[in-house]
Structure 1
Amino acid sequence: MIRAVVFDMDGVLVDSEAVWHAVRRDYVASFGGSWTEANQRNCMGANSAQWSSYIRMTFAAPFDEQRIFHDVVSMLRQRYTEVLPVIPGAQQAVRAFADAGFQLAVASSSPQTLIEFLVARLGLAEVFSVLVSSDAVKRGKPEPDVYLHACDRLGVDPSRAVAVEDSGNGILAAASAGLYVVAVPSRDFPPSPTSLARADLVLDSMYDLDPGILRL
């Protein structure tokens, strides 16, 4: 029996992949680099140490990883303060699972402070018992670490949990961790057919995500 639902954040709760892409593009351009969609795909699922190092190494950034992390996250917080791009149907889906008695968690590649900031902005802080960042584990997605950590924090075996993901790396991470994977594919950065094939269920939108469809 399924006891818990673990949501990714970027691309599942908040339509933020395009925001991350725009912020990194502007940031890299500030010291003469050219950030592309291919660069963005390479960083999807990476934890903060990984993507900060990627920017420094790939673009010969004139700053260290800590400065890069601070600058990019500050730019993101400013964007989210101005406009919060909520995924349609996300808040309703989360509350439906909470009302149905499931334990809820977020397992995201975003920094912990950004996860807490966005969950609060969404008005969902009280329904999530666990918020986990890939920064708290050794390896980011597509490795399973963050999902295993979230399930451990929840006190739930991964086989008794559902993951809701949008990206290829996220799908692979959740599947490798042993969760039942529901994919709501990103339209901006869709997962490859190979990655999508690892999902147990594919939905068109978060409006389609309802406790009634998980008869497990």
Structure 2
Amino acid sequence: MMDKKDLKIIIFDMDGVILDSEPLHENARQMMFREFGIVPDDTFPDPVGKSSSGFWRKIIELCGIEGEPYALEKEQYRLVAKQIEENHIPPSDGLKEVLAWAKAHGVKIGLASSSTRVLVDDALRLVGVDEAFDYTVSGDEIKAKKPAPDAYLKVLELSGFSAENAVAIEDSCAGVTAAKNAGVFCFGYRNATSGEQNIDAADRIIENLKEILDEVRTCPCFEER
């Protein structure tokens, strides 16, 4: 049971939480692998919830391909945004209900993502939720990406709230670790499209974003609202 005395902000991860974009990232990586003539194997790192430029830096090292990590990351994100637009990818089930509840109760909405600003802005706009977010932080605006806590700490800094005023929603091991390292209560969202992720360190495991409402509605700070 969540025990928040003064909930002020809900902070979302983007990929795999705001929308089911992890398969889109995988599609983009596979397209790029084919272009380079790469056959993935068990030595490739798990990219979910982590730095895409860091992933491509490792692939350059392992496979000896030509390219620069940030340029390859940019191409991956371009392919992801293209898929979101062409396939009319919707927001995750329950997201709009949580956003509406937060607005009705004066709770701010933040986003802490490892993706770049361009993809963050494109993805939120394309799924139609960009105007709901009060504070957004992208991976190219912080020193260290998840599992480091920097994205969460930056959202808290921008909002002026402390970790005790916040809850986070994450679908990956790296994301849960980032939220917990920032001292933020974390919902671990078990999203099947995000692959096998160990989110056991989360404070509460959920299967649908609507379950967040079951917790926040009983928060002591809303009993008299």
Return the TM-score normalized by structure 1: 0.89
Aligned-partner Cα distance in 1 for 2:129–2:34: 35
| 2:139 equivalent to 1:134 | yes
Deviation, structure 1 residue 111 = 1.0
Consecutive aligned runs of 4 or more in structure 1 exceeding 6 Å deviation: none
Asked whether the 8 Å contact 1:180–1:200 carries over to 2, the reply is yes
Q: Whose radius of gyration is greater, 1 or 2?
A: 2
Q: 1:105-144 residue pairs with structure 2 within 5 A?
A: 105-144=110-149
* Alpha-carbon distance change, 55 to 107 in structure 1, aligned in 2, over 3 angstroms: same
Partner SS state of residue 38, structure 2 = coil
Q: 1:153-172 residue pairs with structure 2 within 5 A?
A: 153-172=158-177
Aligned-partner Cα distance in 2 for 1:36–1:106: 33
Aligned-partner Cα distance in 1 for 2:91–2:41: 24
Asked whether the 8 Å contact 1:48–1:135 carries over to 2, the reply is no
* Alpha-carbon distance change, 53 to 6 in structure 1, aligned in 2, over 3 angstroms: same
Alignment root-mean-square deviation, CA = 2.0
Asked whether the 8 Å contact 2:147–2:174 carries over to 1, the reply is yes
Deviation, structure 1 residue 24 = 0.5
Aligned length in residues:
212
Asked whether the 8 Å contact 2:15–2:49 carries over to 1, the reply is no
Q: 1:1-150 residue pairs with structure 2 within 5 A?
A: 1-35=6-40, 39=44, 42-83=46-87, 84-150=89-155
Q: Mark the runs of 5 or more structure 1 residues left unpaired by the alignment.
A: none
178, 200, 208: which is aligned to 2:211? 208
Aligned-partner Cα distance in 2 for 1:99–1:38: 48
Deviation, structure 1 residue 156 = 0.9
Aligned-partner Cα distance in 1 for 2:19–2:42: 19
Aligned-partner Cα distance in 2 for 1:102–1:38: 43
Asked whether the 8 Å contact 2:56–2:73 carries over to 1, the reply is yes
